[in-house]
Amino acid sequence: MPKRPAADDSATIARRIAELRETINHHRRLYHTLAEPEIADAEYDELIRELEDLERAHPAEAAADSPTQLIGGEISEAFAPVEHRVPMTSLDNAMDRTELDAWGERVLKGLGDVEVHYCCELKIDGLAVSLRYENGRLVQAATRGDGRIGEDVTANVATIAVVPKVLKSTKNVTVPEVLEVRGEVYLPIDAFERLKAAKEAENAERVAAGRKPEPVPVNPRNAGAGSLRQKDSTVTAGRGLAFWAYQVGEVVGGPEFASHHDTLAFLSALGFPVNPSIRVVASLAEVGDYCDEWQSKRHQIPYEIDGVVVKVDDLAQREALGFTARAPRWAIAFKFPPEERTTLLRDIQVSIGRTGRATPFAVLEPVFVGGSTVGMATLHNEDQVRLKDVRPGDTVVVRKAGDVIPEVVGPVLSLRPEGLAAWKFPTTCPCPIGSTLARNEGESDTRCVEPNCPHQRDQRIIYFASRGAMDIEGLGERTVFQLSDAGLVADPGDIYSLTIEQLLTLEGFGRLSAEKLLAAIEGSKSRPLPKILTALGVKHLGPSAAEALASAFGNLDGVMAASIDDLATVDGVGEVIAQSITSWFAVPDNREFVEKLRRAGVDFGNVEVSRLPQVLVGKAIVVTGTLDGFDRDGAEKAIKDRGGKSPGSVSKKTFAVVIGREPGASKVSKAEELGVPMIDEETFRRVLETGELD
């Protein structure tokens, strides 16, 4: 993005304003009319903010047709135009608490410092629509368009199951002669994932047939907008769109309302879906608390939100505050930090894991997204790179939601430089040996075939020392690379032979830090047997199966001596893991590695036996998100110590799902679908004591 002009350079300022208007109008059309944006919402907001700042500082440059004064975008010629009898305005944005508080102060000043209540609503990341009912029947549905003229999407909206087609009066509510209902059409996350998976499967067939893949939907908002704008309503019907009502427009022959929340109660009584998280609060401090709460909980719900809409609740106070040229003074949108940005894909490189798996990753022009600066992102495997069709030199969409690993969602094809070559998976390992990378038929992974590959060696040591394995504090990636480069370790067993003199030769190590690391290594010798089994890095052998084996055999020698049948009969192990274990121990080098650990004094028979009441026997509890009183391993251990199981996925057999901060959306959606109880941390603690939900 060009630098902002100096304050006293009038000609440069005029040129920058003209440039911004042209750029913003281009992106307005792509976003609102075509549902094919080239940049993320946050970048569009930055352009708008810059233009607003320049126009405010230089009022002589202001113009009525500036995009800062406009609402929405142009309507598509593919749909008939609809004139809104009551204009559909846009909203001003607050990007942080300071701007939110400033808006609140303007509201209080405009009303003469009277008592104000605020209605807080989740800002659904969808498409605004207006539904018109005459004598209780849905007669027209239209997009917002430019606020005055929208697009007629009646046939498509009629396919949305939750949108009432006929309204009926009851003893508590009478259907008005004319009722305009405004709300947001959106695509639920599970429907988006199905649509995305279907397109990826279709692309796999296209690639197999030698044809180019087609663009894959990058987020629910764009996919939802595209679904609503289908010319064939039967296509829309199959997409699974949903709707939340959030306001009334024109009303003829209806009741008089005193507050916004009264209108929402009226709509709910008529059968419209109204979001259950709407809350009326009595102060700006409570508004801020609501925003903070939902910023932390945004991934606990099965649809995308990108902020909170705050409205003055009293309708008479709204009337007194009025509107600017494009937005009401009585409402504002508090925007959450962006989780998607666009940036340049500089390169695609390959990392080698402990098993030789070669994983492609994106080297990006650093971009701030999801609360941190991202310079690299996963690309999963060769097939994903090919199906997404991302190429070095592309502008790509990068997504980072909460603590999730950053991911390249896909390319912005309209910005692809002409003649940009497709990326090809390398055939040699990036390690000094330069061994062959091979992909076996029927497998999705490409692997380095050289067991002595230095990259595999380093990753095996890193895994061995990780928290889920031997949990050696201070032996992280950077230190392992130092030890490896210095020739001090060739496998994980060598760490037990390290001396303080050797560590002092490494950069960044003083005597105190060297002694601390050696103490941590010594302490790892007494880790419980499940940790040791996990640390070996046997394919398919994870922590749960390791715990089951430790309980069944009591020591590592018993596991090594067991037959496939003996191993497979252990609950939670099975034939695949059993075969993998026996194959691993059959390799002489692996046996020698185990003996090296024995000679170092690693305890092969440390099996912890829980003395806690076994109140969770036969019960599976899934934990998702961050808890205040437990780390992930601690929560799982607390469940297992009481006889329960802590699987990684939700099923109909799940007893409960513990919801922490920023939980996995798929687990929340699955729990809702199956009717599995979802509990908070406080309830979880009671369950650990009693084994019961109540």
Reduce the DSSP state of residue 91 to 3 states and report it: coil
CB 520 within 8 A of CB 472: yes
CB atoms within 10 A of CB 258: 11
HSE-CB for 668 with a 13 A CA cutoff: 20
Please name the helix (run of DSSP H) or strand (run of DSSP E) that holds residue 270, with its range, or none: none
* Strand pairing class (340-352; 127-134): unpaired
* 123 counts as catalytic: yes
Question: What does the alpha-carbon distance between residue 475 and residue 451 come to, in Å, rounded to a whole number?
Answer: 23
Alpha helices in 213-283 (DSSP H): 220-228, 233-237, 260-269
d(Cα 589, Cα 266) in Å, to the nearest integer? Answer: 73
| C-alpha closest to that of 476 among 438, 423, 513, 428 | 513
Distance CA 153, CA 35 (A): 15
In what helix (H) or strand (E) does residue 200 lie, and over which residues does it extend? helix 189-208
Closest to 417 measured CA to CA, from 398, 386, 388, 396? 396
The residue type at 36: E
- 3-state SS, residue 349: strand
Q: How far apart are CA 681 and CA 385, in angstroms?
A: 39
Burial class (CB within 10 angstroms; exposed 0-12, middle 13-18, buried 19+) of 521: buried
CA–CA dist 38, 659 (Å, integer): 35
- Given 3, 109, 123, 531, the catalytic residue: 123
Output b/e per residue, 264-293; b: 16+ Cβ within 10 A. Answer: bebbbebebbbbeebbebeebeebbebbee
Sheet of 305-312: strand order equals 93-94, 331-335, 305-312, 118-124, 279-281
Strand intervals (E) in 336-454: 340-352, 357-369, 372-378, 395-399, 407-411, 437-438, 446-448
Torsion region of 135: left, alpha or beta (phi above 0 gives left; psi -120 to 50 gives alpha): left
Which residue type does 164 have?
P
The backbone torsions φ and ψ at residue 171, rounded to the nearest 5 degrees and listed phi first, read -70, -20
End-to-end CA distance of the chain: 56
Residue entry with tokens 């009693």:
690
Q: Where are the alpha helices (DSSP H) in 58-146?
A: 97-111
52-64 CB burial, b ≥16 within 10 A, e <16: eebbeeeeebeee
Supply the DSSP string of 408-434, one letter for each residue: EEEE-GGGPPTTPPPP---SB-SSTT-
Catalytic residues: 123
